[in-house]
């Protein structure tokens, strides 16, 4: 039987939404504020509001560290929903990333994939926030590239240019890299523009909408689609 993943020697991962359950993390971090003000807002509405403002802030402030982005996002969410957000509330939300849980299958799947592929992180956060999340992931990555390192946020092409340039340090070429992510907007669309093959970990397969991520701005077709990391590891034969 032909192995469809035979050409690949490395996997690059989005982290938040793919490995870390960022939607649960976001809503858990915002719930105390929502309850304090007795807001009549669903988690889906909260995530959609978050998505709109996160995209705007990352575009306006591409060199801001992710905790600063989150703090400003919460302030703007407060402006939309009514209650003013205090400095302490905004800073607490900005610092919450390390508390966001990993998906149940993440650590096991990464450990399995590690036996076959080099593993790279391409994440829209800062180094400190990712270091805290990395403790939940259970593996040492061969390379870690964050928005803080690049000075921009995905879907900027710059982030994927840095990823491709980093391959030389691993003695790899772009055709040997497979990008693995949930977000069509942040990851699959720019990965395709960069000429990379991609795997869609469709964590939201059982629910409608795009949650905390915007809709892609163009049609994008990942090369493979799985509903979980465990399903992908099974397909990779590890």
Q: Tell me the catalytic residues.
A: 14
Angstrom distance (rounded) from CA 121 to CA 145: 6
Task: Please give the backbone phi and psi of residue 56, each rounded to the nearest 5 degrees, phi first.
Answer: -65, -45
Return the closest-CA partner of residue 213 out of 40, 104, 64, 58.
Answer: 58
Residues 6 or more apart whose CB falls under 8 angstroms from that of 182 comprise 14, 17, 18, 200, 201, 202, 203, 204, 213
- The CA distance from 110 to 215, in Å, is 27
What token pair was written down for 62?
């591409």
**77: its two tokens:** 């969410």
Contacts for 201 with CB less than 8 Å, ≥ 6 apart: 18, 180, 181, 182, 226, 227, 228, 229, 232
Beta carbons within 8 Å of 116's beta carbon, 6+ residues apart = 236, 237, 238
- Rounded CA separation 220/58 (Å): 22
């Amino acid at each position: 039987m032909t192995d469809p993943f035979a050409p690949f020697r490395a996997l690059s991962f989005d982290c938040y939404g793919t490995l870390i359950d960022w939607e649960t993390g976001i809503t858990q971090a915002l719930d105390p504020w929502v309850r304090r003000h007795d807001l009549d807002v669903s988690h889906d509405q909260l995530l959609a509001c978050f998505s709109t403002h996160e995209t705007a802030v990352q575009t306006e402030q591409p060199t801001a560290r992710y905790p600063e982005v989150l703090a400003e996002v919460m302030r703007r969410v407060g402006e939309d929903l009514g209650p003013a957000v205090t400095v302490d509330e905004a800073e607490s939300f900005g610092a919450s990333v390390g508390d966001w849980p990993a998906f149940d299958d993440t650590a096991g799947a990464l450990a399995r994939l590690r036996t076959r592929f080099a593993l790279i992180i391409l994440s829209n956060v800062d180094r400190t926030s990712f270091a805290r999340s990395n403790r939940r992931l259970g593996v040492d990555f061969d390379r870690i590239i964050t928005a803080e390192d690049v000075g921009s946020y995905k879907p900027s092409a710059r982030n994927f240019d840095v990823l491709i340039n980093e391959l030389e340090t691993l003695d790899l070429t772009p055709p040997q890299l497979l990008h693995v992510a949930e977000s069509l907007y942040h990851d699959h669309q720019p990965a395709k523009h960069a000429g990379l093959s991609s795997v869609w970990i469709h964590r939201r397969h059982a629910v409608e909408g795009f949650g905390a991520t915007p809709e892609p701005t163009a049609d994008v077709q990942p090369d493979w689609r799985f509903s979980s990391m465990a399903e992908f590891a099974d397909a990779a034969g590890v």
